[in-house]
């Protein structure tokens, strides 16, 4: 055991957590700290261990930590384990995690992208088949119209925001679709549309209806290459404008304006964020956007395409170094043939199902490569209970977060890390890949199969080249702007695409007195669940303890801007939120994630299993 004190600062001027922290503060005290306060404690320096009998964590060595984890892996049933990867983990590390977990027989390999863009991946595959790639940022410079739907890139995607700014300066159009007017985004738009939260399918069905009725679709391409047009046309014909307007919250005249702007475009890109996927009909939302692109042949070609806005590089499944699905399959097959291993082929569980299984005490072991799983789950009480029911959890992280404090009644271990580009002398901290390499080597103990050579990123690429001697990285990821055709002479490729009718077409909602539709949102001062700043400069708030609401709804409630209220849902309540008047569609409210997750039930999109983080029925209680 390591007993000496640790300096709170490093040679790189980073603050590091003292080993005295867990003696000075109990877990109950640490639980009361905000995400910002936990982040401000600094970085982790030594592995930390807590048995099921301990009241707090104690410092151990990497060697001791790897030995403990390996022993628990050997004792655990792979079918009752899961391995989780954060979107901030390197592609090389997630590759290694995937390969290692499958080697020991576990196929429950999940990622935070399952709670982000799983619906996008499913919709793209359903509508476009194998040709379901999204476009790169570089393609945007050829477009004349960009849709930004359910996202606020001025806060969360700075590179994309700069592209939008240049696009507008060069005369291009930008249509934003968002229930709230985000001031910085508004400056970049040609038209800003404010639908109801959850009204997107109705809105885009209305735009499709306009295009078809006005003959503004690519008829020749539809006849030759599109599946399901007749059924889709019957669907749009049957939907009344009253239904579309009521559910979208947008009048027919505005829908017709958006349709005309799109119809006059020669090169359109549709971009969207989690404001579209975080709904019980998230996959329907994305398919309704793809329908619009199909109707006017905007799926591919310069300046045309689909762009899910995400931090990780693979929407439908675990990030795997950007490889095609066919290459990933070849790597696995070569690995099996080389080492005489049968990797599992059964369908792995998704993130929510893993948590629900854990809640029912069906998970024995969990390995978390980064992230903050407790805080990203819906239904805070359910999340804590599920994690508490897992006998052993190993967590890899550079900083302390709520997952290390909530749901830790049983055995838990935290391994600190350094980035792969940082000096090896930095407190002898290991990288994610080094930890996984050591753990796999210790867990497998096979003379003919060693993971010792996977510790460096370059080692992983070398190993892949040995498994696939004919592998060419350059052919795997095509260079941007590789086409030699000019815009005028380019040819748009044709495929057999499918227009999709929404699975959920019962849009009528039961109206309850004093009920609002709530969306959780991020602030300008956060990255996922990491809170860097309590203030939100763009929304002009100094605290996160606010509920954004329209002036009209404040008047209807008989309250005023700044009033204190409680917000309640079927799963919990948030106390003493300050009403903040905001330009948001009446009947809709929003507050910050992950704090809002106490209000979020386990309701989810049945196709993607993505929880409905952005469409929750709540009531507001006046103090």
Residues 189 and 100 in one domain: no
Contacts of 90 (CB under 8 A, 6+ apart): 420, 432, 433, 457
Residues 282 and 154 in one domain: yes
Strands (E), 1-111: 48-50, 58-59, 81-85, 109-111
Any domain includes 385: yes
Tokens of 518: 């709530």
Neighbours of 181 (CB within 10 A): 15
Boundary (domain end) residue, out of 310, 339, 368: 310
Cβ atoms of residues 316 and 122 within 8 Å: yes
Q: What is the DSSP string of 286-306?
A: HHHHHHHHHHTT-SSSTT-EE
Residues 168 and 235 in one domain: yes
Looking at residue 524, what is its pLDDT?
A: 82
CATH number for the domain harbouring residue 393:
3.40.50.740
Any domain includes 607: yes
Residues 73 and 128 in one domain: no
Tokens of 576: 């003493």
Any domain includes 482: no
∠ Cα 486 492 497 (to 5°): 160
Tokens of 148: 């930004």
Residues 126 and 226 in one domain: yes
Cβ atoms of residues 581 and 554 within 8 Å: yes
Cβ atoms of residues 185 and 148 within 8 Å: yes
Dihedral of alpha carbons 463, 465, 469, 471, sign: positive
Cβ atoms of residues 494 and 225 within 8 Å: yes
Residues 291 and 164 in one domain: yes
Residues 184 and 284 in one domain: yes
Looking at residue 542, what is its pLDDT?
A: 92
Any domain includes 15: no
Local structure of residue 430 (DSSP, 8 states)? P
Local structure of residue 574 (DSSP, 8 states)? E
Boundary (domain end) residue, out of 422, 451, 480: 451
Range of the domain at 199: 118-310
Q: Report the chain (623 residues): mean pLDDT per 10 consecutive residues.
A: 42 75 90 92 94 92 97 96 86 86 93 84 87 76 96 86 94 97 94 96 97 94 89 95 95 98 97 94 96 95 89 40 69 85 89 96 96 94 97 96 96 91 72 92 82 74 79 50 36 70 72 86 84 88 95 95 96 96 96 95 94 94 87
Any domain includes 192: yes
Spatial separation of the C-alpha atoms in residues 35 and 13, rounded to whole Å: 21
Cβ atoms of residues 272 and 149 within 8 Å: yes
Choose among 610, 615, 605, 623: nearest CA to 569: 615
Looking at residue 13, what is its pLDDT?
A: 62
Spatial separation of the C-alpha atoms in residues 558 and 554, rounded to whole Å: 6
CATH number for the domain harbouring residue 154:
3.40.228.10
Residues 108 and 172 in one domain: no
Cβ atoms of residues 286 and 149 within 8 Å: no
Spatial separation of the C-alpha atoms in residues 361 and 354, rounded to whole Å: 10
Cβ atoms of residues 87 and 319 within 8 Å: yes
Three-class SS string for 466-517? Answer: HHCCCCCHHHHCCCCCCCCCCCCCCCCCCCCEECCCCCCCCCCCCCCCCEEE
Any domain includes 457: no
Q: Order the strands of the 411-415 sheet from edge to edge.
A: 58-59, 48-50, 411-415, 392-396, 365-369, 81-85, 109-111
Spatial separation of the C-alpha atoms in residues 158 and 119, rounded to whole Å: 24
Neighbours of 479 (CB within 10 A): 8
Spatial separation of the C-alpha atoms in residues 50 and 509, rounded to whole Å: 48
Residues 255 and 354 in one domain: no
Residues 373 and 437 in one domain: yes
Placement of tokens 């390999």 in the chain: 109
Contacts of 232 (CB under 8 A, 6+ apart): 208, 291, 499, 500, 501
CATH number for the domain harbouring residue 618:
2.40.40.20
Looking at residue 345, what is its pLDDT?
A: 86
Beta bridge partners of 111: 85
Residues 135 and 268 in one domain: yes
SS3 439: helix
Residues 122 and 185 in one domain: yes
Spatial separation of the C-alpha atoms in residues 379 and 402, rounded to whole Å: 14
SS3 230: helix
Query: Residue 409 is inside which H or E element, if any?
Result: none
Any domain includes 333: no
Tokens of 172: 């291009």
Boundary (domain end) residue, out of 405, 420, 451: 451
Placement of tokens 């059964």 in the chain: 346
Helix locations, 515-613, DSSP H: 551-556
Domains identified in the chain, total number: 3
Any domain includes 456: no
Looking at residue 312, what is its pLDDT?
A: 37
């Amino acid at each position: 055991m390591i007993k000496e004190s640790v300096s709170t600062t490093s040679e790189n001027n980073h603050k590091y957590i003292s080993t005295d922290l867990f003696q000075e503060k109990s877990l109950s005290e640490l639980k009361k700290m905000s995400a910002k306060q936990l982040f401000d404690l600094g970085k982790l320096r030594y592995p930390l261990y807590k048995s099921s009998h301990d009241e707090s964590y104690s410092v151990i060595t990497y060697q001791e930590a790897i030995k403990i984890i390996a022993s628990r892996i050997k004792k655990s049933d792979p079918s009752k384990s899961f391995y989780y990867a954060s979107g901030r983990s390197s592609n090389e590390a997630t590759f290694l995690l995937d390969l290692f977990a499958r080697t020991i027989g576990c196929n429950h390999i999940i990622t935070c992208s399952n709670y982000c863009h799983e619906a996008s991946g499913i919709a793209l595959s359903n509508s476009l088949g194998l040709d379901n790639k999204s476009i790169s940022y570089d393609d945007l410079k050829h477009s004349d119209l960009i849709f930004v739907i359910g996202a606020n890139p001025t806060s969360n995607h700075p590179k994309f925001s700069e592209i939008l700014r240049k696009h507008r300066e060069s005369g291009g159009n930008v249509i934003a679709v968002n229930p709230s007017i985000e001031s910085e985004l508004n400056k970049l738009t040609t038209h800003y549309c404010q639908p109801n939260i959850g009204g997107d399918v109705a809105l885009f069905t209305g735009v499709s209806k306009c295009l078809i009725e006005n003959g503004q679709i690519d008829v020749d391409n539809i006849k030759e290459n599109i599946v399901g047009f007749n059924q889709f046309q019957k669907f749009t014909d049957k939907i009344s404008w009253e239904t579309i307007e009521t559910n979208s919250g947008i009048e027919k005249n505005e829908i017709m304006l958006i349709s005309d702007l799109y119809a006059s475009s020669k090169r359109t890109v549709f971009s969207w964020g989690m404001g579209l996927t975080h709904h019980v009909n998230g996959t329907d939302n994305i398919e309704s956007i793809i329908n619009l692109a199909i109707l006017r042949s905007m799926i591919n070609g310069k300046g045309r395409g689909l762009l899910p806005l995400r931090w990780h590089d693979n929407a439908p499944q675990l990030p795997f170094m950007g490889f095609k699905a066919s290459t990933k399959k070849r790597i696995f097959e070569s690995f099996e043939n080389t080492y005489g291993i049968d990797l599992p082929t059964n369908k792995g569980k998704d993130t929510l199902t893993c948590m629900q299984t854990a809640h029912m005490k069906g998970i024995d072991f969990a390995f978390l490569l980064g992230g903050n799983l407790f805080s990203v789950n819906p239904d805070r009480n359910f999340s804590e209970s599920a994690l508490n029911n897992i006998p052993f959890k190993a967590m890899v992280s550079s900083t302390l977060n709520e997952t290390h404090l909530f749901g830790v009644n049983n055995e838990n271990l935290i391994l600190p890390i350094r980035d792969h580009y940082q000096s090896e002398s930095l407190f002898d901290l290991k990288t994610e890949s080094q930890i996984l390499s050591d753990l796999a080597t210790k867990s497998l103990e096979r003379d003919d199969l060693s993971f010792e050579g996977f510790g460096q990123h370059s080692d992983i690429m070398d190993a892949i080249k040995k498994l696939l001697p004919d592998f060419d990285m350059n052919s795997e990821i095509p260079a941007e702007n590789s086409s030699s055709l000019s815009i005028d002479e380019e040819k748009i490729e044709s495929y057999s695409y499918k227009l999709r009718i929404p699975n959920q077409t019962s849009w009528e909602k039961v109206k309850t007195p004093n009920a609002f539709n709530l969306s959780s949102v991020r602030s300008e001062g956060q990255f996922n669940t990491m809170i860097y700043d309590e203030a939100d400069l763009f929304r002009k708030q100094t605290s996160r303890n606010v509920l954004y609401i329209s002036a009209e709804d404040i008047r209807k409630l008989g309250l005023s801007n700044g009033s204190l209220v409680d917000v309640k849902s079927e799963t919990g309540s948030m106390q003493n939120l300050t009403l903040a008047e905001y330009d948001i569609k009446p009947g809709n409210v929003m507050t910050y994630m992950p704090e809002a997750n106490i209000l979020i039930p386990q309701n989810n999109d049945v196709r993607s299993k993505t929880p409905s983080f952005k469409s929750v029925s709540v009531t507001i209680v006046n103090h």
